[in-house]
Amino acid sequence: MDSLTPVILTPVFAAILLLMIPGNYRVVLRTLAILGSALTAWTAVSLFSRFHPGQAALQFESLVPWVTVGPLNVAYHVGADGLNIGLILATGLVGFAAVLVSWNIERHVKLFYVLLMLIIAGAMGAFASLDLIFFYFFNELALVPTFIMIGVWGRGEDRNWAAFKITLYLTLGALTALVGLVAFYVAAGANSLDVTVLKAHLAAHPLPAVAQTWIFPLVVFGFATLVGLFPFHSWAPVGYAAAPTATAMMHAGILKKAGLYAILRMAVPLMPDGAHRWLPVVAFLAIGNLLHCAWVALRQKDMNLLIGNSSLAHMGFAFLGVASLTVIGVTGTVLLMVAHALLAGLSFALSGYLETQTGTLDMTRLGGLLRRMPFYGTALVMGFMAGCGLPGFANFAGEATILFGSWKSLPGLVVIAAWSGLVIGAVAMLRALRAVLHGPERPEFARVADTGAWRRLPFVVLLGALLIFGLAPGLLTSRIEPAAKAVVAAHLKPSEAEAPSAVAPGSAPATATAPAHTDAHSGH
Amino acid sequence: MNYSLITLELLAVLLGLAVLVADLWVSPSARRALGLGLSAALACLLAFAVGSLAPQSGSAFADMFVVDDLARYFKGFFLFAGLAVVLMAADFAPKFGAGLSEFFALTVFALVGMLFAASANDLVLLFVSLELITVTFYVLNSFQRTRLASLEAGVKYLILGGVSSAFMVFGIALIFGTANSTNLGVLASKQKELGQSALFLVGLLLVLVGLGFKIAAVPFQMWAPDVYQGSPAPATAFLAVGSKAAGFVLLIRLLVGAVPQITAEWHRLFVVMSGATILYGSLCAIPQRNLKRLMGYSSIANAGYLLLGIVAGSAAGSTAVLYYLGGYAFTVLAAFTVISAIANHVESDDIGALSGLGQRSPFLAAGLTMAIVSLAGIPPMAGFFGKVLLFKSVLDAAPGHPELYALIALAVAGVVMSLYYYFGVIRAIYWGGQSSNLSTIPVALPTRIVLMACLAGMLVLGVFPQGLVKIADHAVTSLTHKAAPTPAKAAH
């Protein structure tokens, strides 16, 4: 009964329903989209609350065979564990908020909501999938909607260029990873691309270290491009700045995390030798995110570019946590992914609202808005403070955990991360707040209005979630930790964890039965 | 002798003749209805071909003509393509001026050539069926007699087609001279000795020239862009789908069915051919501004992807080719249905002429977008899983062959490049340029039906690929099983 399927199919059905309604019934279209995303969000929240913390096993699993080609079995296999349950929740919330902030879309309303629903469905499916082909399938589902949305409803003169840039980068990254995954499948000699099957198969037939060292970079750098790892990051800020608010929220908040999620789900646990060899390189490049992107963010005058660049800087933290290969570091990474999903969604929602009111995001032309927009200003202060890593918001919990987790293995990087992420980032955020909210009131913004009751809902939802997870990060960490242990299981020293010993009896029968299986196979 | 095996082909020939005869009585105004009647008859043939009444497996005419799962797969494929093209042409009629019935009849005769090609088990039948296809296309391509571009397309296709046929005949002669037979089964049983004969290998190479021309693979691709651009849209559609698939079924019968060992030895040749085709098609498509010309280059690039399955040299590779072609048929037919529907209202094939299509006809816009998405290999369309299968089949064969890794890298680069030019079309549909004319484009019911069927096919194949994969797998098995016992028989 309990399955992740409804959370994927609800937005798909909403999109199909939207397609059937004539394009000029705008109120009906908007209502239906809001209801569809609200239902999705509610399903995600209820799944999150029913998830049993402290278990490493998959929950809400369902498996439907999809296609068999020769020896290859591809199955629709979805399931939740600590790695994805938080992201599914965040996707539901940010998706709901993204639909809510799209009230000012006037052209092609129907097409807009259909595409937005497809993006939500793709993100949900990507996080839920345990089969590599399906992960790719759902992840790419969002590509075309993104392209069309940036082109049709996008902002700025450069949106044509930005649309192509984001599409080409994302495809190159995803395809590189796909080739790596298929090569991995061939090298492993398994008969499935299902992560759970592959794990069991690898326990019996470990992949040679040589194969791992050349497949791992394909997969990791492919997926890291989707996240915006330096130096594959330049698509992100321009893409977000050109995208309509809802698309920027979904992309910066949610879809970007799919790359990190895939690294944690597939690359690191399946290829421990490759991870050991290549993750230091990733950590080194993450300095680029932490220093370069933070510095670039500091220099921005456009608020969207500021948010885009600082969000890339935060991704540096996430990569640092992955590269630490410790339970604490990975737990912190997942926590930060959830927190940053909510924060990036919130930030772009805030900047989008500001643009509808003032007509500009150029911070040199803004100022003195706190007096005119007290609620909005408060939300902006809270959001940007969360971005600085203020305790009380979930981002602080994530970043602090990552810094603790990586102190032992990467002390030099931690110092850099602390400096850049926490200091340069804070300076950038505070300067933006000063430029937008403080200073003398400007006569041209005399007609600017604060958010009405309904318009506050998306901000309240996202800020509320950030505060809840900030004040009680245990809600997330208790769910994440067992999964994080499984991710880095191969790298734990025996003294460090009881978890591997708990896993070992389970894997022993698999080793015993595996030769029998190969015999049966060769007998054909 | 089992003559019942060619029932389908006979019926199709009769249908073509019936159209020609009926033309004597049908008034010019009722010719569109004739096309609708013809498509109904083709639909019946399609139902017959895929139904249980279809001829059982077997061979006839001294083993020249075989019916197996592979033949059946392609017969269904060609009949569907022919049906879609006839419906498309019925709505394209105003552009032809006179001679609509001849267009229908020629389409059916080209279809007959394809049906025979699907069953060809002898180089002579292979050549005759290919000639039947090529000669009808000489006319079909230049059917808009008053348009210079169309005449140019016909002449180019005529000259290059003639040259490639000459190569092919020469090759067949050399093969016959060395092997004493033109039967593919006999060639399969003798391939070990024949592989030693340089003359036989030259003959085989020359036959490949002819087939390379049909599928538009580098270095025999130069006709494709001009012909695709100049021909009337329905003829281009049939050329892109039917003619290319006919080339591939013959390629599979020859290379995978008859001489797999030589194919394996020539591995590098196909690697280079596939890589060069992908690269040429993708690079040249980038600057194109004419939609049909773009489709021409895209068809070259797709020939390169399809050759990946031949490069793999495995049953999985051939299955991937069959599946990819299945998805490709729906995709290209959908794209050309839209192109031909637009051509009736906009006097231009330029990509710029698509501007405002998103408002003028959301249905056509969505149809073309979905076709483009499938061509680009993005889920949930059929093109995605086809590319996955092709790439996987090559990676399966890759260990020990470092050049295959380079080929995969090239193919990935081709896909990324293709996104650039394909998405340029999507941009033109939804936000490129300002169109002054925003009147709605009416879509006739037959066109609507074809487009709906193709879109449904693309989506169903993309979301539920299992069915077609299984059918394709059976088709390939029927070929390799037949090839395997033949050497044993020859040893007796």
CB B427 within 8 A of CB B342: no
Choose from A192-206, A314-328, A330-344 the range with maximum mean pLDDT.
A330-344
Quote the distance between the C-alpha of residue A439 and its chain's center. Answer: 35
Does pLDDT of B88 surpass 70? Answer: yes
Residue A472: its H or E element: none
Return the percentage of chain A with pLDDT > 70, whole number.
Answer: 94
CA distance B73 to chain A (A): 17
pLDDT of residue B435: 67
> Which is more confident, B29 or B211?
B211
Band of residue B485 on the pLDDT scale cut at 50, 70, 90: very low
Distance CA A82, CA B87 (A): 54
Does pLDDT of B129 surpass 90? Answer: yes
Distance CA A413, CA B84 (A): 62
Distance CA A59, CA A47 (A): 10
Task: Please give the single-letter amino acid code of residue B128.
Answer: V
Does pLDDT of A160 surpass 90? Answer: no
**What would the mean pLDDT of B267-282 be, rounded to a whole number?**
94
**Using omega within 30 degrees of 0 as the cis cutoff, is the peptide bond preceding B219 cis?**
yes
Whether residue A160 and residue B380 make contact (CB cut-off 8 A), yes or no, is: no
pLDDT of residue B227: 94
Whether residue B423 and residue A143 make contact (CB cut-off 8 A), yes or no, is: no
Whether residue A183 and residue B378 make contact (CB cut-off 8 A), yes or no, is: no
**What would the mean pLDDT of B345-358 be, rounded to a whole number?**
81
> Which is more confident, A488 or B204?
B204
- Considering only the beta carbons, identify the residue of A69, A144, A147 that sits closest to B389: A69
Query: Tens of pLDDT along A279-294?
Result: 888 888 888 888 888 8
Q: Which chain B residues have a beta carbon less than 8 Å from that of A163? A: 423, 427
Around Cβ A411, how many Cβ atoms within 10 Å? 9
Distance CA A247, CA A29 (A): 18
Distance CA B74, CA B62 (A): 22
Does pLDDT of A503 surpass 70? Answer: no
Query: Tens of pLDDT along B315-324?
Result: 889 999 999 9
CB B323 within 8 A of CB B389: yes
Judged by phi (left if over 0) then psi (alpha if -120 to 50, else beta), residue B443 lies in beta
If we measure between CA atoms, which residue out of B368, B379, B218 comes closest to residue B299?
A: B218
Give which of B278, B308, B412 to mutate to test A binding, by max A Cβ within 10 Å.
B412
Arithmetic mean of pLDDT over chain A? 84
Whether residue A144 and residue B373 make contact (CB cut-off 8 A), yes or no, is: yes
Helix and strand numbers (H, E) in chain A are 24, 2
**What would the mean pLDDT of A167-190 be, rounded to a whole number?**
86
Judged by phi (left if over 0) then psi (alpha if -120 to 50, else beta), residue A181 lies in alpha
- Considering only the beta carbons, identify the residue of B392, B395, B466 that sits closest to A66: B466
Band of residue A193 on the pLDDT scale cut at 50, 70, 90: confident
Distance CA B338, CA B88 (A): 9
Alpha helices by DSSP H, A232-298: 235-242, 245-248, 256-262, 268-270, 272-287, 294-298
**What would the mean pLDDT of A62-70 be, rounded to a whole number?**
84
CB B85 within 8 A of CB B234: yes
Q: Given CB atoms, is B419 within the 8 Å cutoff of chain A?
A: yes
Around Cβ A357, how many Cβ atoms within 10 Å? 18
Choose from A192-206, A471-485, B274-288, B350-364 the range with maximum mean pLDDT.
B274-288
Query: Tokens 């190479």 correspond to what residue?
Result: B205
pLDDT of residue A519: 39
Q: Given CB atoms, is B469 within the 8 Å cutoff of chain A?
A: yes
Q: Which chain A residues have a beta carbon less than 8 Å from that of B368? A: none
Q: Which chain A residues have a beta carbon less than 8 Å from that of B379? A: 136-138, 140-141
Whether residue B416 and residue A171 make contact (CB cut-off 8 A), yes or no, is: yes
pLDDT of residue A61: 87
Residues 6+ positions from A423 with CB-CB distance below 8 Å: none
Give which of B282, B354, B360, B378 to mutate to test A binding, by max A Cβ within 10 Å.
B378
pLDDT of residue A208: 83
Query: Tens of pLDDT along A44-59?
Result: 999 999 888 888 888 8
Q: How many CB pairs under 8 A join A and B?
A: 93
Q: Which two tokens stand for residue B276?
A: 């060069």
Does pLDDT of A502 surpass 50? Answer: no
Does pLDDT of A509 surpass 50? Answer: no
Q: Which two tokens stand for residue B395?
A: 């990676």
Distance CA A357, CA A350 (A): 11
CA distance B424 to chain A (A): 9
Query: Tens of pLDDT along B422-474?
Result: 998 998 888 877 766 777 888 888 889 999 999 999 999 988 998 899 999 98
Choose from A193-197, A366-370, A471-475, B303-307 the range with maximum mean pLDDT.
B303-307
Whether residue A144 and residue B369 make contact (CB cut-off 8 A), yes or no, is: yes
> Which is more confident, A159 or B52?
A159
Does pLDDT of B83 surpass 90? Answer: yes
Residue B461: its H or E element: helix B445-463
A289-293, B202-206, B386-390: least confident range: A289-293
| ipTM at complex level | 0.85
Residues 6+ positions from A415 with CB-CB distance below 8 Å: none
Q: Which chain B residues have a beta carbon less than 8 Å from that of A143? A: 378
CA distance A309 to chain B (A): 25
Whether residue A67 and residue B316 make contact (CB cut-off 8 A), yes or no, is: no
Q: Given CB atoms, is B459 within the 8 Å cutoff of chain A?
A: no
Pairing outcome for strands A59-69 and A72-80: antiparallel
Q: Which chain B residues have a beta carbon less than 8 Å from that of A171? A: 415-416, 419
CA distance B216 to chain A (A): 26
pLDDT of residue A494: 55
A167-206 burial, b for 16+ CB within 10 Å, e for fewer? Answer: bbbbbbbbbbbbbbbbbbbbbbebbbbbbebbbbbbbbee
Whether residue A186 and residue B469 make contact (CB cut-off 8 A), yes or no, is: no
Q: Which two tokens stand for residue A186?
A: 């061939």
Cα dihedral across residues A20, A23, A25, A31: positive or negative: positive
**What would the mean pLDDT of B214-229 be, rounded to a whole number?**
91
Q: Domain range spanning residue B424?
A: 266-485
Whether residue A140 and residue B396 make contact (CB cut-off 8 A), yes or no, is: no
pLDDT of residue A505: 36
Q: Which chain A residues have a beta carbon less than 8 Å from that of B362? A: 23, 111
Query: Tens of pLDDT along B150-199?
Result: 999 999 999 999 999 999 999 999 999 999 999 998 998 888 888 889 99
**What would the mean pLDDT of A262-276 be, rounded to a whole number?**
87
Residues 6+ positions from B492 with CB-CB distance below 8 Å: none
Give which of A171, A185, A191 to mutate to test B binding, by max B Cβ within 10 Å.
A171
Does pLDDT of A406 surpass 80? Answer: yes
CB B177 within 8 A of CB B141: no
Distance CA B393, CA B305 (A): 12
**What would the mean pLDDT of A242-264 be, rounded to a whole number?**
91
Number of domains chain A is built from: 1
pLDDT of residue B324: 95
pLDDT of residue A518: 38
Burial class (CB in 10 A: 0-12, 13-18, 19+), A139: buried
Residues 6+ positions from B170 with CB-CB distance below 8 Å: B203, B206
CB A224 within 8 A of CB A232: yes
pLDDT of residue B436: 67
Q: Which chain B residues have a beta carbon less than 8 Å from that of A67? A: 385, 464-466, 469
Residue A317, helix vs strand vs coil:
helix
Q: Which two tokens stand for residue B113?
A: 């050539």
Band of residue B305 on the pLDDT scale cut at 50, 70, 90: very high
Does pLDDT of B361 surpass 90? Answer: no
Residue B475 lies in a domain: yes
Number of domains chain B is built from: 1
Whether residue A70 and residue B395 make contact (CB cut-off 8 A), yes or no, is: no
pLDDT of residue B482: 64
Arithmetic mean of pLDDT over chain B? 89
Start-to-end Cα distance in chain A: 37
Q: Which chain A residues have a beta carbon less than 8 Å from that of B385? A: 67
Return the percentage of chain A with pLDDT > 90, whole number.
Answer: 24
Q: Domain range spanning residue A89?
A: 5-522
CA distance B397 to chain A (A): 9
Does pLDDT of A230 surpass 50? Answer: yes
pLDDT of residue A125: 93
Return the percentage of chain B with pLDDT > 70, whole number.
Answer: 97
Residue B450 lies in a domain: yes
Quote the distance between the C-alpha of residue B275 and its chain's center. Answer: 19
Band of residue A154 on the pLDDT scale cut at 50, 70, 90: confident
Interface subset of B 331-390, CB within 8 angstroms of A: 358, 362, 369, 373, 378-380, 384-385, 388-389
pLDDT of residue A496: 52
For A41, A85, B327, the CA distances from A45, given in Å and listed in that order, are: 6, 10, 39
If we measure between CA atoms, which residue out of A123, A256, A133 comes closest to residue A195?
A: A133
CB B300 within 8 A of CB B427: no
- For helices B31-50 and B100-119, angle between their N-to-C axes, nearest 10 degrees: 10
Does pLDDT of B489 surpass 50? Answer: no
Alpha helices by DSSP H, B216-314: 224-230, 233-238, 244-251, 260-265, 267-285, 291-312
pLDDT of residue A70: 74
For residue B59, list its beta bridge partners.
Answer: B66
Residue B429 lies in a domain: yes
Residue B381 lies in a domain: yes
Distance CA A128, CA A258 (A): 10
- Considering only the beta carbons, identify the residue of B379, B399, B408 that sits closest to A137: B379
Choose from A409-413, B296-300, B339-343 the range with maximum mean pLDDT.
B296-300
**What would the mean pLDDT of A303-318 be, rounded to a whole number?**
89
For residue B179, list its beta bridge partners.
Answer: none
Query: Tens of pLDDT along A85-144?
Result: 999 999 999 999 999 998 888 888 889 999 999 999 999 999 999 988 889 889 988 888
Closest chain B CA to residue A65: B466
If we measure between CA atoms, which residue out of B256, B281, B266 comes closest to residue B403?
A: B266
Whole-angstrom Cα Rg for chain A: 22
Closest chain A CA to residue B369: A144
Residue B83: its H or E element: helix B69-92
